[in-house]
């Protein structure tokens, strides 16, 4: 009996779409769940009511598609997408009552955009687009795998097989959507219900987001909290200066001096000892 090819194996998976529903409104989740269950090939593997929970569920379940509300607690749908590694990113269908988000949604390569209230026909159209997206994604993967096995072709190194995802975060500032490389950010400062993002250019962006949420999005990029109100890019730390009573201040390359909490000193020490 012939074994199925990688392409056949991947296409067989397309017939079942592993799906996450992310919406902070229970009634909206109920309605979408009921509509999706009309299609027996759709497997709902998780439901989430906040942005951070959605990021966790995507990393855990590795779904084919996420139906993602734009406005959710913790971080919104756009921030959820920017918080995912490229390798983890499923097809994304934004679901929202606000059509003004359409441009922003497609800017982060959403497969579709459902405007509430939508009917079953519109949802089925979105599912067909998702299937095409997933099929093309699997075909590309199968083609790369086949090419790597061609005689004489250099075998990809592990680093090529598992490329590091592009680190980029999205923030909304005064109605604009701003894409930032983490290397552009020097430090982030809490300011009531906002954070102030200090850039290497000297520009400051005021973003309505909690410092904890920002810290979570940046921690994998070499950022760490140094006190209750500040998260710093460790590569921008020039030195630690002693202050009073055995405490220290973090001095950044641009001269900014930030108090270092004694109970967070170990975090800086960890980065320094690892050479990051």
- What are the tokens at 259? 């108090």
Per 3-state DSSP, what percentage of the chain is helix, strand, and coil (rounded to 5)?
40, 30, 30
- What are the tokens at 274? 């690892």
Question: d(Cα 93, Cα 25) in Å, to the nearest integer?
Answer: 17
* Positions in the chain whose pLDDT score sits under 50: 6, 10, 154, 156-166
pLDDT tens-digit series, residues 227-276: 989 999 888 988 888 887 778 889 999 999 999 887 766 666 665 555 55
**Which pLDDT belongs to residue 272?**
59
Q: Is-contact 189 215, C-beta < 8 A?
A: no
Q: What is the mean pLDDT of the chain?
A: 79
Q: Residue 180 class from Cβ within 10 Å (0-12 exposed, 13-18 middle, 19+ buried)?
A: middle
pLDDT tens-digit series, residues 12-27: 555 789 999 999 999 9
Dihedral in degrees, nearest 10, Cα atoms 144, 161, 149, 17: -50
100's CB contacts (< 8 A; 6+ apart) are none
């Amino acid at each position: 009996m012939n074994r199925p090819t990688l392409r056949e194996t991947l296409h067989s998976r397309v017939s079942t779409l592993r799906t996450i529903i992310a919406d902070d409104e229970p009634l909206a989740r109920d309605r979408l769940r009921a509509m999706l269950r009309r299609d027996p090939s759709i497997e709902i593997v998780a439901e989430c009511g906040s942005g951070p929970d959605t990021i966790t569920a995507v990393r855990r379940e590795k779904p084919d598609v996420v139906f993602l509300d734009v406005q959710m607690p913790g971080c919104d749908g756009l921030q959820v997408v920017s918080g995912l590694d490229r390798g983890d990113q499923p097809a994304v269908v934004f679901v929202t009552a606000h059509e003004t988000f359409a441009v922003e949604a497609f800017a982060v390569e959403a497969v579709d955009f459902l405007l509430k209230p939508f009917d079953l026909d519109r949802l089925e159209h979105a599912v067909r687009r998702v299937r095409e997206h997933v099929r093309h994604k699997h075909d590309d993967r199968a083609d790369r795998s086949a090419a790597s096995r061609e005689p004489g072709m250099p075998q990809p190194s592990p680093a090529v097989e598992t490329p590091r995802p592009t680190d980029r975060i999205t923030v909304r500032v005064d109605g604009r959507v701003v894409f930032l490389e983490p290397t552009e950010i020097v430090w982030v400062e809490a300011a009531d219900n906002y954070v102030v993002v200090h850039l290497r250019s000297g520009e400051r962006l005021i973003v309505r987001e909690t410092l904890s949420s920002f810290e979570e999005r940046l921690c994998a990029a070499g950022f760490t909290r140094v006190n209750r109100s500040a998260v710093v890019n460790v590569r921008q730390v020039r030195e630690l200066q002693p202050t009073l009573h055995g405490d220290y201040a973090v001095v950044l390359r641009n001269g900014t001096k930030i108090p270092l909490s004694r109970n967070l000193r170990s975090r800086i020490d960890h980065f320094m000892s690892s050479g990051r």
